[in-house]
Amino acid sequence: MVTVNKNYLKLQESYLFSNIAKKVGAFCEAHPGEKIIRLGIGDVTQPLAPVIIDSLHKAVDEMAHAETFHGYAPDLGYEFLRNAIVRHDYQSRGCQIEADEIFISDGAKSDSGNIQEIFGLDNKVAVCDPVYPVYVDTNVMAGRSGSYCEKNENFHGIIYMPCREENGFLPEFPKEVPDLIYLCFPNNPTGSAITKPELQKWVDYANLNGAVIIYDAAYEAYISEEGIPHSIFECEGARTCAIELRSFSKNAGFTGVRLGFTVISKELVRDGVRLHDLWARRHGTKFNGAPYIVQRAGEAVYSLEGQIQLKEQIAAYMRNARVIYEGLKEAGYAVYGGVNAPYIWLKTPDSMTSWEFFDYLLEKAKVVGTPGSGFGAHGEGYFRLTAFGSYEDTKEAIDRISRL
């Protein structure tokens, strides 16, 4: 008889953003013609930059001729893209990363979910609380947790590192030493950022304890302040303890195009094995490469024109972030984030739970956000809004909320 992977049964019924989409869908059906403003899921709204569109068109044309046609991409990515990444994202920041330490993929969500496969099931996993749900759910699916504890709203066997207002929404070293530590900075969902000296402490801690940090830097393009690292490889010793995940979704609007990459240095060894080699083996077996046309689009991101055009896109989203931050502050809300990240994290008013506030905003302002408790027990009492909407919608949403 066929049996199923019982670990899946430990998970809550559906993924956070699917849950929200269902709720909003039902609301729209019940209120036809109402204009709903969606500042929930962190999905971009601006079209791809002209230089990226040009590059896509050109690559599509190449696919139409036998001489320039491309079939399977190299497992680990085309050299032209890996070289551009290394030059622009790493060497220009003084990070010692080589092109063959970059693994091109179809996005950071896949990588952040898949990376746990190369580690043993007996590893102790630590995550921030609140946290991007993918890190937890994929470890639960793999069997690296116990059952879900309704009372504590978390999984047995996972180490949760509370990120609270009083510590700037940064985690502290947990009591129990973990093996795998997931960190995401600038942070989703709180919008907090970590300084280089603070991140250095985590790198030192991981090296001291033989742990591995899985560092999600998907939002690095939103860093506006000095002293905030764009990559964990800016820290000394990161090559021997860190894996970095990067995305083209938020910095270049590729949410519907799909492209990302993982960086694993050849010096990262655990259990006598180079993790680089395991990930290469996994990638080569389970992935046939990101499409040629998409990798060419990725290359355009690093062109001079690309950098200029994308700077404008990010500036537009960050203008929205300011509208949300300042508008809510003026309306009396306690607000965080929004300076080095496209997320604004706010305290729900009048002791409402996160989901009560979600319903209240949807009902009264027709604005969709994300309940903080969906990201973990310590997200309860908080709410996330994204800066990825249009300027007009963002302004209208904040006007509506302010009038409540």
Nearer to ligand MLT among residue 55 and residue 190 (C-beta) = 190
If phi > 0 it is left, if psi is from -120 to 50 it is alpha, else beta; for residue 253 that is left
Quote the least distance from Cβ 90 to ligand MLT, whole Å: 22
Q: Which amino acid is at 333?
A: Y
Q: Which two tokens stand for residue 344?
A: 């604004």
Q: Pick from 7, 308, 322: which is nearest to 147 by CA?
A: 7
Quote the least distance from Cβ 147 to ligand MLT, whole Å: 25
Is 258 one of the annotated binding-site residues? yes
Nearer to ligand MLT among residue 95 and residue 361 (C-beta) = 361
Is 132 one of the annotated binding-site residues? yes
Beta strands 382-386 and 343-347, pairing class: antiparallel
Is 160 one of the annotated binding-site residues? no
Is 207 one of the annotated binding-site residues? no
Q: Which amino acid is at 106?
A: D
Q: Which two tokens stand for residue 38?
A: 């969606």
Quote the least distance from Cβ 109 to ligand MLT, whole Å: 4
Is 249 one of the annotated binding-site residues? yes
Is 333 one of the annotated binding-site residues? no
Quote the least distance from Cβ 369 to ligand MLT, whole Å: 10
Report whether 345 contacts 384 (CB < 8 A). yes
Q: Pick from 267, 225, 231: which is nearest to 246 by CA?
A: 231
Residue 74 φ/ψ, nearest 5 degrees: -55, 140
Nearer to ligand MLT among residue 43 and residue 380 (C-beta) = 43
Q: Tell me the CA distances in angstroms from 16 to 42, 44, 189, one per residue in order.
A: 12, 18, 13
Is 15 one of the annotated binding-site residues? yes
Using a 10 angstrom Cβ sphere, with 0-12 exposed, 13-18 middle and 19 or more buried, the burial of residue 151 is: exposed
Quote the least distance from Cβ 188 to ligand MLT, whole Å: 5
Beta strands 260-264 and 242-247, pairing class: antiparallel
Nearer to ligand MLT among residue 200 and residue 354 (C-beta) = 354
Nearer to ligand MLT among residue 200 and residue 340 (C-beta) = 340
Residue closest to ligand MLT when measured from CB atoms: 42
Residue 3 φ/ψ, nearest 5 degrees: -115, 160
Residues of this chain that interact with ligand MLT (CB under 6 A) are: 41-43, 109, 132, 188
- Number of C-beta neighbours around residue 346 at 10 A: 25
Nearer to ligand MLT among residue 42 and residue 291 (C-beta) = 42
d(CA 77, CA 106): 10
Residue 295 φ/ψ, nearest 5 degrees: -70, -35
Is 109 one of the annotated binding-site residues? yes
Nearer to ligand MLT among residue 188 and residue 340 (C-beta) = 188
Is 182 one of the annotated binding-site residues? no
Is 155 one of the annotated binding-site residues? no
Quote the least distance from Cβ 264 to ligand MLT, whole Å: 21
Q: Which amino acid is at 98?
A: E
Quote the least distance from Cβ 191 to ligand MLT, whole Å: 11
Can you say whether the dihedral through the CA atoms of 62, 68, 71, 77 is positive or negative? negative
Is 384 one of the annotated binding-site residues? yes
Nearer to ligand MLT among residue 41 and residue 228 (C-beta) = 41
d(CA 197, CA 195): 6
- Mapped onto helix, strand or coil, the DSSP state of residue 334 is coil
Quote the least distance from Cβ 98 to ligand MLT, whole Å: 27
Which residues are documented as binding site for substrate? 15, 42, 109, 132, 188, 288, 384
Annotated binding site: 15, 42, 72, 108-109, 132, 188, 219, 247-249, 258, 288, 384
